[in-house]
Amino acid sequence: MRQRDTRVYLGLLNDVRERVETGIAMSSIASKALEKTANWGLSDIEIAYALSAPWQAGVSTVGSPVGWIMINYSR
């Protein structure tokens, strides 16, 4: 599972990197992070996971109650 997550997050990060390099990237936390990566001394994997944390938190926050509601209604 971690290998799959890493591939997905790095793929998304590389997509943003390509957009930044071609000048078509919109301003975002990912594009700003890529601009500052050298200053932070973080690897691409570390940046990708750090950028994915808010998304993961949102999925967990919404997914858990929805799951419980579906379980209770299915009885």
The pLDDT tens digits of the residues spanning 54-69 come to: 777 666 666 666 666 7
Q: Whole domain around residue 30: which residue ranges?
A: 2-73
The pLDDT tens digits of the residues spanning 5-40 come to: 899 999 999 999 999 999 998 999 899 999 888 788
d(CA 56, CA 42): 20
Give Cα 5 to chain centroid, integer Å. Answer: 9
The pTM is what?
A: 0.69
Count structural domains, the chain: 1
- Give 58: exposed, middle or buried? Use CB within 10 Å, 0-12, 13-18, 19+: exposed
